[in-house]
Amino acid sequence: MDLTVTEDKNSIPTALDRRQFLRSAGVAGASLLAVGMVAGCGGSTSPGANPSTSSLSDVDILNFALNLEYLEAEFYAYATTGSGLNPSLFTGTGTQGATTGGVRVTMDAATMAIATEIANDEMEHVAFLRSALGSYAVAKPAINLAALGSVNTQALFLAIARAFEDVGVSAYAGAAPLITSKTYLQAAAQILAVEAYHAGNIRLQVAQQSVSTAAVDSQDILPPPSGTKYFTNDSTNALSLIRTPRQVLDIVYGTVNVARGGFFPAAMNGTINR
């Protein structure tokens, strides 16, 4: 299936066949999980420069998603197999970087089965986005999987996975205002549903295995035993939490209002990275 962008980077929706895209998106899992993360603020084309969301192209948005897919795919790949993605998936625009700190985690059979299925999803997401973006795809940036310390136990794996999945779901809630193509909007709805499946499953594993978790920010809702709710919806209307791009970057960069750090020691590649 050829999803390569052959037109101007601002016209990705017309460069993709609708039925082909939806057929791929149906198995893409969280391939656009970060599309909503650009709601509320822009990226930066140079240090200190922040374009408005109206100036962002679909390529900018999808590349932001690709950066985060690189992170998730590497996290799950190393945890389940002890090695990362195929290097053929690393090339692209921007600075290519190594992945450090990843180790295989010893898990019980049920947890390993779940983690392996998610790992396969995330690897497919990377390949899917790279195919869709073609020559506009960003390279895999430097990733530090040990940003919070070595993830070398099942409990630590579940704690980090819980944070990744919940942040992804909250980010998706901001996608709708930015998506102008009905093709993307339908795909985003399908992908959000799958991402929520991942999050619900991981949160249940955390609760059943009594894994302690820590809040990633002030609005985080922790599952038992550290919290009291199995789901991350608000208490007023039972709606998903929403995080802005800056809030998401603060989480993955590890510090408030910095340009790089944490899981991305040299920053993300692409327009939306600060």
Q: Tens digits of per-residue pLDDT, 112-132?
A: 999 999 999 889 888 887 887
Out of 90-99, 215-224, 240-249, pick the least confident.
Answer: 240-249
- Per-residue pLDDT averaged across 142-165, rounded? 96
Rounded Cα–Cα distance for residues 274 and 128 (Å)? 25
119: in domain: yes
- Over residues 211-236, the mean pLDDT reads 95
Residue in this structure with the two tokens 């035993």, named with its chain if needed: 225
**What pTM value is reported for the model?**
0.80
pLDDT at 133: 81
Q: Is residue 19 part of a domain?
A: yes
How many domains is the chain built from?
1
Query: Does 274 map to a domain?
Result: no
**Is 30 within a domain?**
yes
Question: What region does 129 belong to: left with phi over 0, alpha with psi -120 to 50, or beta?
Answer: alpha
For the chain, the average pLDDT equals 80
pLDDT confidence bin for 183, thresholds 50/70/90:
low
Q: At 13, is the pLDDT very low, low, confident or very high (cuts 50, 70, 90)?
A: very low
pLDDT category, 273, cuts 50, 70, 90? Answer: confident
> Is there a domain that residue 16 lies in?
yes
Residue 48 lies in a domain: yes
Q: Is residue 148 part of a domain?
A: yes
The residue segments making up the domain with residue 73 are 9-253
Mean pLDDT across 78-87 = 97
Structural domain contains residue 273 = no
